[in-house]
Each structure stands twice: as C-alpha cells, then as structure tokens.
Amino acid sequence: MSIEISVLRGRIENAAEAVGPLWPLRTFNSANPLSGFESLPFHEAVQRAGHLFRGRGYPAPDVFRRAWERGDIDPEILQRQLRDAGHDLDPAAALDALPRHDSSPAEAEDERLNRIMSKWLAAFFDHGQAAWPMPNRSDGFFASWRILAPFDRGIPGIRQTSDLPSTKLDAFIETLDGVPEEEWETIFTHHLAALPGWVGLIRWQGRGTAGEWEKAKPITLGGYLAVRLTVARLLGEPLLPKDAPANGEANPDTQTLPAVVLAAWEETYRHRLIDDLTEPPSRPSVDGTDTRPDAQLVFCIDVRSEILRRHLEGLGPYETHGYAGFFGIPMEHESYAPGAGVGERVKACPPIVDPRHRIAERVAPGCEHEAEAYNDWAGIEGTRRTLLKTLKKDVAAAFGFVEGSGGFYGIAMALRTLLPHRVFDGLKSLREHLPGPSSFTEVTVDRPDTPDPDDALPLGLSPEVKIVYAEAAFRLMGWTDEFAPIVVFTGHGSQTPNNPFKSSLDCGACAGNPGGPNARVLAAICNEPAVRDALRSRGIHIPEDTVFLAGQHNTTTDEVTLFVDDEDPPVDPGALERLRDDLAAARNGATAERVSSMDDRMWADATRETERRAADWSETRPEWGLAGNAAFIVGPRRLTRNLDLRGRSFLHSYDWRVDDSGTALETILTGPLVVGEWINMQYYFSTVDNAVYGSGSKVTHNVSGKVGVVQGNGGDLMTGLPLQSLYMDDEVPFHDPLRLFAVLHAPVERVEMILNRQDTLKRLFDHGWVALAIMDPEENDRVMRYQPGGSWAPMSVDEQPAAAVLPDA
Amino acid sequence: MTDQPQDTETTGKKHRLHSLKKIEIIVRGEKEKFVQDLLEECGATGYTIHRDIAGRGSHGFHEGRLLFNDRAGLVMFFTVGDEEMIDCVMDGLTPLFEKSSGVMFVSETQVVRLEKFLEEDE
C-alpha cells in the first residue's frame, strides 16, 4: 500500500480540529476546550464534543436547582422559554424532568493504549523535572521512542528496534493497510481526542511559537499518531474501538430541557444587568462637574478589577478606565538577570497576538548601588539553590542530607503551615530591606544602537511605533481629553505559593504573566515629550503637568504597588501619599467583599486573611480568579459607575463619539472580546464537567515534567481549571456557568457594519457562543438585542415583554 | 513536460521562457503553518505570503488587518513549480478544504530562470 504523505498531512490536520491547543503551565492560557467546534452552533458543538470527550455540556440538574432556589432563574422567563421551545411543562416540573448525567463514564476500551502513550509523552515532554531525561529527543518523538520501545514491557512483540517501522510514513503504511482514505479522519480523530491534554500540548507546540521547545523536543501530530497506531497494532487492538464516540452522529437540538433552562438562567442575569444599566441614574455629581480628578487609574478589563475600581472611586475624586491588561504592547518581557546573564524571556501579550518587540529590564541610571546589593543576594541565593539540588539528587549525598537537614525543613514546614501570616510578613520585610528588580530597573523602550542577537526579537520600540501604541490606548478607551495630574496604568498579577495554576490567576492578556511590565512600558512611552507632541497633533491633548505612572494590582491581596522612586517621586509627594492611602482604604473594602465570598466565617480583618491566602502553601483557593464572569461591557465608565457588578463583568472603556470609523470598536470586539469569550468558555466547561474539561481537585494533582498537571500518578494532562477555582465544595459551584453577554454602548449601524466585515466575530454571536446587546446612544440608549442571523429586537420589557430569545421553531 | 522553451523578443533581448504551474492558496491565518509545512514537504523551493488580506467569500466579508488579533486574518500563498510539486500540494489541500474554508487556484505560468523553481536534484 502506498500513502501520499501530503494527503495524510491534510487528513491529520482535519482530525486535529477537534482538540484545542493546551499551553504549558508556565504560560497557562485560558482557551475554550471546544475551540475546535466554534464554527458550529453552541448546542451542536456541545453535543458533538460530548460524544468525543465523554463530557457533559450543560450544568447538572442540582446546579440548575440551586440557581432556581436562589432566585437566579426567573420563573416567568423560564416559563416563556419552555413555551417557545415547545415544552408543555411548568418551571418546577421542568427542573424535575432534567436528565441526569452519568458522571462516571465507563473506562474507554483502549485505556491500556492511553496509559502507554501518556507514559511516553510525559517522558518526552519533560521540561527539566526529570533528573535523567529521555535521550535522543531532538530526533523527534517517533525516532526517540523507536530506540527505547524494545525496553517497554507493556508493549508486546518488540525485541529490537528493527522490529519497528523505520519511519513515520512506514508506520502509517503498516497500520492503515487496507483502510480506505475516507475512514482515516474518523480513526485519527478518535486517537487524538483520546488524550486531549497531551495532544493539546502538541498542538500548542505545532503553532510555531514554541521556540526552543520545538528545537529540543520536536513532536508533531503525525509522530504521535505513528507511535500510537503502531502500539495499537502490537497490542492487537482495533484501529477504531467499538465504543469509539467519534462515530457518534449529532442530532443537534437547541430545545432540549438543559438548553432551555440554561437560556432562562442566562436571560434572567442579562435582563437584571440591563435593568441596572438603564435605571434612571442616581449617579453622583462627579460625572456632572468639571472638576479635574486627582488621579485616573487604568485597570485591566479583568472582572476582578471592577471590585477595586468601585471601592476606589467611592473614596474621592478618582476616575478609572478599563483597557486590555497588556496595555496594547505586543511584547516579550525579558526579566532582569544579575551580572552578565540573560533574563528569562516570556511572552507578555494575548494568545491571539504575536509579540513583536522585546522589552528588557535594565539597571536604571543612579540605581547601581541597589542593583549590586540585589546581585550579591541573588548570587548567594543561586549558589544555595544549586547546592541544595546537588545534595538532594546526588546518590551518595542524599541520605546524609536528609539526616542532617530534616530538622530544619521540618521547622520551616511547620512555620509555613501553622503561621502563614508570619511568612507573608517575613517576605514583605525582605522586600522592604532588599527591593526587587522593579525598584532599580527601567524598561528598555528605546531601540539601542547595538544589533539584536539572532535568537531574539528586536529590543525596544521605534519612535513611530511608540506613538502608535500610545494613540491606540487612548483611542480605544475613547479618552482624548481631561487628564489628571497623575495617571496610573495598573497591570495585575496574583500571589500564591506552591500553585501550578498561578498563571491562570495572572493576567490573561499577558499570556498568563503579571501585567506590571507592560504597564511600565506604556507609562514610559506616554511620558516622552515627542510622543505627547505627536498625540497633540492627533487631537489628544495631555497637559504638561500630567505624569504617567505604572503599578500592579495584586489580585490575591488587592494591594496596588506603584512603581515609583520614593526618594525622587515624579509627582507631588502629598498627592502620591493621598493616592496610596486611598488605595489602601479601597483595598480593605475590596478584600472584605471578596473574602466573604470565599469563606462564610466572619473575618475581623479581611485584608489579613487575603495575606494568609497569599502565603499559605497549603491554600487551595488563594482567590477566585475570574470565577463569576458573565458579562463584557464596552462603554464609558459613567454607564456602570456606582453599580455593584459583583466582579462579574469585564469592563472595556469606549466612547462612541470619538470613533466615527468604528475602528476602535472593531479592535475591541476582535481582540479583547474574543479573549474574554475564551476565558468565559473555559470557566463554563470547567464548571459543567470538571473532571473532563477542568482539572479535578488540586489535592490529588501532580505536576508532570513542569509542563502540565495530571491526576494521581499519571495519565493525560488535565486541560482546564481546578475544582477549587470554581466550586465552594465538591458539589456546589461558586461560578455560575453562563455564556458571555456582551453589551456595547454604540449605534446599531456601527455594530452592524463591523459584523458585516468580520465574519468570524459574527459567527460567535450567530452560533450562540456569546450573546450581544447594544445600548444605542443615538436612540437615547435604547437597548436592542442581536438575533442570530443578523436582525435586532428591542430588549426592554416595556417594549416587548416577551423578547424572543430563541428564534421561533 | 515542464521545459518547452519559447523564444520571446523583448526590448531587443532574447529570453527563454519555461512553462511551469502556479498555485495560489488562500486560507485562514491559523492554517498558515500547515500550508508552509506542506509546501516545504512537497519540495517548493520558495513561496510568497500575503498576510491580512481582505475579501468576500461564502462566509461573508472578511476585513484585513486587525490590531489585536493575529489569528483571525486571511493569508494568501503563491508559489511556482512543476506538475509533480503542484499535485502534491493539491493532494494535501483537497482534504483540508472539505472542512476548513479556503481556496486554491492552479494555472499555467512561464518563468525565465527555471533553476530557481525546481529542486536541485531534478
């Protein structure tokens, strides 16, 4: 049998559509686990993916019931939805009739094959965890496996390497012998979807952005399949097991009971949100007066920002804005490295944006002394770590080391477990005595004269590009006048020890890294006189006395750190002091609100409790992350100011009056909104089936090869969020699994124009992955709801009490 | 078959033109890597990529360059080669287009420097 390799390639590519990419832990990115199905309508995608991954697509009946008992599902809305969908049931009967889902599907027929593949993939992908890594990995997965496979007792029938096909193509020729081409895709889909974690990681690497990884450990889907199909043949297993769900035909029905109850829950939330947004504003005078605010702070659109913003605005003449947390800088961040070393380079922009610049931290002029102190400490610390690693891993030294150091480690462990507050205080005091690199470095925003190294992106930004990024920031936020004396760009990051999922709590717009470095870049650009002159000629007038600062919001403790040289502050020290005091007060308000949602005990000092969570190595829930997210509001802050959105809304600032061409709105919808949808879908699916689409309980997690997390001692990589990030306990979710609701403050014609030229975006709305409403400022903020297909219907209860949510059957 | 030289008189200079085939491919940005790998595997000696192109297709209009999304764009490839190479590329794209949106056009073309478009061992 002969096989055209290009045909094979095309079939594998098609089959791989079913499995979305999975980022390694270091840069864990939120992604819709059903991203390969996004071209389908939501309900059909849920059904097809349900067959393939054996996962549940809708919340469990108990989850619906609790929402109903809390009053989160409006009986009238549910009744209307049931009637429209042709169900002759009243709401209570509908909730009783919800089908139960078998939460523990039978073990797959080819589980033995899965276990063998997981073992080899874990060895191949190891990223520095194994003391003795798999050899020959640079030759590729198939070639390096082929050499070692004869030693695997689990695979029968191989005595030596030559018993195995010599190339990947030969492996396919042997295994697909006699199988018609039309069946290949079904077979491949089954074998790829059998291990969505490891295969997702291969897909991530196959995007061509993995850099060094790719060179050190080249692996393709073809290599994976060649090994897997060969092992299946040797085990005597059929190419397509009888229980293979890839064959399952979907019969998409948008009117099933779970779909209808979900829609009713979503509509209840959405109507209440719209009611809040359209109620006659009891908005305070701050908006109406012309007083210049003392400070303006720009936060990430992240739902967690809303809580702190609300508390801060209530404390004084402050304004806040929302912008994507990478601050529009498509960069790779190179952290400070003591001495002549090269710092770690990490991507610091959203998963759908490629970095174009490298921004490094360098010692700022006049800060050499602090840098030296830090370098000395870092040198000692580095030696200590190397020594400990050697002592622990050296065969001869290990026993003596354990004997000698056990007592010390025991005390340290007891301290970390019993007195996490003290650990937090200790770390804080260390930071005060020995400030980290952000206190003595500056970011390289200028292009240097020296040439860039071959292996790196160009360092710094050209003068033209600086103007583009600064203008983009203000245009997208619709912010062209009124600048306070202090403007702070505030990135965000989390603080959590012993947590492989730290990246999932950091900034999603910065590839799962803290956003402070990006904030520093935009602030540095905006302080340059040449940039301000250029902005002025483009209609953005920044007064002489406005100073841009950068900061970082610690989302675990709600502390905001301002990156300011306190010995020589660039702004009035009194004003800076007031801002810091108010940020501290806002922090107390925000932590009180957040802690009460994490724990039903009464905390006298909620801030202190967040500090414990930030330092406690046994804490499985340092914070809620983006749990609760359900809406994405694009518009000026005055629409939402004074509303308690309960940390559930992404907030992107936008002013339709300064965006005649619609370019700013188009950028927001095709960029930040798409990332918001990925996050929302990850939270949705991780909640509705935590074992399949999430990652199960943290208690039984093990990190595999520093790349991912497995449950227990092996198996597939878990792809989504852990149970403790979403659930109050094993049964009760904290996150309400609702699809995202986008609300745009913009004229209907403008939104239509954008949808008509962005077919991928339009499809998200047409296929029900995201719902859309606009508040049309040209029609007195009348709320219109987008109907799949392209029409609009009023949402207001007065205008149309039974606003059709599902199209008539 | 690829080498049927024709003599052409232009600006008084004599060129020999050689017949080859040209393939133009338009796919979504997320398939760029797939097409690159396919072209290389089929022995294309080079290719040209236009990124962020705009146009109308069966799914509606697609606008080009976006500031904060490098994945949603459309990319266009074109390359020239002998029939065997073009067939190989078509074999890989035909299954792809059963599932993903995209188009390919194959046409006759002529080149002056044949050696630029064929692999050395041919």
Report whether pLDDT(A280) > 90: no
Could you tell me if A278 and A335 lie in one domain? no
Tokens of A733: 């979710």
Of B61, B66, B99, the CB nearest to A756: B61
Q: What dihedral do alpha carbons A437, A438, A442, A448 form, nearest 10°?
A: 60
For residues A19 and A194, what is the distance between their CA atoms, to the nearest angstrom?
10
The verdict on residue A771 lying in a domain is yes
- B122/B104: higher pLDDT: B104
Domain residue ranges in chain B = 6-58+71-116
For residues A112 and A531, what is the distance between their CA atoms, to the nearest angstrom?
62
Beta strands in A263-317 (DSSP E): 295-300
Could you tell me if A512 and A640 lie in one domain? no
Mutate to test the interface with B, among A760, A761, A764, A767 (most CBs of B within 10 A): A760
Between chain A and chain B, the number of residue pairs with CB atoms below 8 A apart is 89
Q: In this structure, what are the phi and psi dihedrals at residue A488, rounded to the nearest 5 degrees? A: -115, 125
Report whether pLDDT(A358) > 60: yes
pLDDT at position A251 is 59
Report whether pLDDT(A800) > 70: no
The verdict on residue A676 lying in a domain is yes
One-letter identity of residue B21: K
- A403/A515: higher pLDDT: A515
Residue B31 contacts A, CB cutoff 8 Å: yes
Q: In this structure, what are the phi and psi dihedrals at residue A698, rounded to the nearest 5 degrees? A: -65, -25
Most confident listed range (A399-403, A420-424, A677-681) = A677-681
Q: What is the 3-state secondary structure (H, E, C) of A25-38?
A: HHHCCCCCCCHHHC
Residue A509 vs residues A308, A330, A345: alpha-carbon distances, Å: 19, 10, 16
A192 touches A221 (CB < 8 A): yes
The verdict on residue A720 lying in a domain is no
Confidence of residue A809 (pLDDT cuts 50, 70, 90): very low
Could you tell me if A276 and A366 lie in one domain? no
Name beta bridge partners: B63: none
Q: A649-675: per-residue pLDDT in tens?
A: 999 999 999 999 999 999 999 999 999
Could you tell me if A80 and A111 lie in one domain? no
Could you tell me if A74 and A125 lie in one domain? no
Could you tell me if A617 and A657 lie in one domain? no
Inter-chain residue contact B91 with A4, CB threshold 8 Å: yes
Could you tell me if A275 and A379 lie in one domain? no
Could you tell me if A201 and A233 lie in one domain? yes
Confidence of residue A802 (pLDDT cuts 50, 70, 90): very low
| Chain Cα centroid distance, residue A468 | 26
Most confident listed range (A393-407, B1-15, B90-104) = B90-104
Could you tell me if A607 and A643 lie in one domain? no
A238 touches A112 (CB < 8 A): no
Confidence of residue B120 (pLDDT cuts 50, 70, 90): low
pLDDT at position A270 is 98
Residues near A648 by Cβ (< 8 Å), separated by ≥ 6?
Answer: A303, A306, A628, A629, A630, A631
- The domain boundary, picked from A587, A622, A657, lies at A622
Tokens of A125: 């992908």
Confidence of residue A91 (pLDDT cuts 50, 70, 90): very high
Report whether pLDDT(A286) > 70: no
For residues A182 and B94, what is the distance between their CA atoms, to the nearest angstrom?
13
Determine the topology of domain B6-58+71-116 in CATH. Answer: Alpha-Beta Plaits (3.30.70)
Residues near A520 by Cβ (< 8 Å), separated by ≥ 6?
Answer: A438, A443, A489, A550, A563
Report whether pLDDT(A136) > 50: yes
Sign of torsion over alpha carbons A163, A164, A167, A171: positive
Could you tell me if A14 and A90 lie in one domain? no
pLDDT at position A445 is 95
Per-residue b or e along A128-157, where b marks 16 or more CB atoms closer than 10 Å to that residue's CB: eeeeeebeebeebbbbbbbeebeeeeebee
- The domain boundary, picked from A577, A603, A622, lies at A622
Confidence of residue A808 (pLDDT cuts 50, 70, 90): very low
In chain A, residues with a C-beta closer than 8 Å to the C-beta of B62 are 757-760
One-letter identity of residue A323: Y
* Residue whose structure tokens are 């008189």: B9
Task: Give the range among A407-421, A499-513, A775-789 with minimum mean pLDDT.
Answer: A407-421
The verdict on residue A306 lying in a domain is no
A273 touches A773 (CB < 8 A): no
Q: Which helix (H) or strand (E) holds A469?
A: helix A463-477
Tokens of A750: 């403008």
Nearest CA in chain A to B41: A6
Residue B71 contacts A, CB cutoff 8 Å: yes
Residue B68 contacts A, CB cutoff 8 Å: yes
| Mean pLDDT along residues A466-493 | 96
Report whether pLDDT(A552) > 70: yes
| Mean pLDDT along residues A409-422 | 84
Alpha helices in A478-554 (DSSP H): 502-505, 516-526, 529-537
Our count of domains for chain A comes to 3
Could you tell me if A782 and A634 lie in one domain? yes
Domain housing A96: 61-100+255-291+628-690+726-809
- The domain boundary, picked from A575, A599, A622, lies at A622
Inter-chain residue contact B69 with A17, CB threshold 8 Å: no
Task: Give the range among A178-192, A269-283, A434-448 with minimum mean pLDDT.
Answer: A269-283
Q: Which residues of A touch B (CB under 8 A)?
A: 4-7, 9-11, 13-14, 17, 185, 206-208, 324, 328, 350, 352-354, 472, 666-667, 670-672, 674, 756-763
**Gap between the terminal Cα atoms of chain B:** 13
- A651/A439: higher pLDDT: A651
pLDDT at position A803 is 40
Residue B113 contacts A, CB cutoff 8 Å: no
Report whether pLDDT(B11) > 70: no
The verdict on residue A457 lying in a domain is yes
Sign of torsion over alpha carbons A246, A251, A252, A257: negative
| Mean pLDDT along residues A452-476 | 93
Mean pLDDT estimate for chain A: 91
In chain A, residues with a C-beta closer than 8 Å to the C-beta of B71 are 352
- Nearest chain A Cα distance for residue B11, angstroms: 43
Inter-chain residue contact B66 with A670, CB threshold 8 Å: yes
Confidence of residue A288 (pLDDT cuts 50, 70, 90): very low
Residues near A763 by Cβ (< 8 Å), separated by ≥ 6?
Answer: A38, A39, B59
Of A10, A185, A472, the CB nearest to B67: A472
Could you tell me if A641 and A763 lie in one domain? yes
The verdict on residue A235 lying in a domain is yes
**Gap between the terminal Cα atoms of chain A:** 50
Name beta bridge partners: A354: none
Maximum alpha-carbon separation in chain B: 51
- Nearest chain A Cα distance for residue B36, angstroms: 11
Mean pLDDT estimate for chain B: 85
| Mean pLDDT along residues A137-161 | 95
For residues A401 and A168, what is the distance between their CA atoms, to the nearest angstrom?
46
The verdict on residue A167 lying in a domain is yes
Alpha helices in chain B (DSSP H): 32-41, 83-99
Report whether pLDDT(B21) > 90: yes
Ordered DSSP codes for A667-736? HHHHTHHHHHHHHHHHHHHHHHTTTTTS---GGGEEEETTTEEEETTSSSPP-S--GGGTBSSSS-BSS-
Confidence of residue A106 (pLDDT cuts 50, 70, 90): low
* Residue whose structure tokens are 């295994």: A175
B79 touches B23 (CB < 8 A): yes
Confidence of residue A105 (pLDDT cuts 50, 70, 90): low
Using alpha carbons, select from A5, A15, A10 the residue that is nearest to residue A192. A15
Q: A698-741: per-residue pLDDT in tens?
A: 999 999 998 999 998 889 999 999 999 999 999 999 999 999 99
| Chain Cα centroid distance, residue B88 | 12
Tokens of A150: 């004869």
- Nearest chain A Cα distance for residue B92, angstroms: 4
The verdict on residue A714 lying in a domain is no
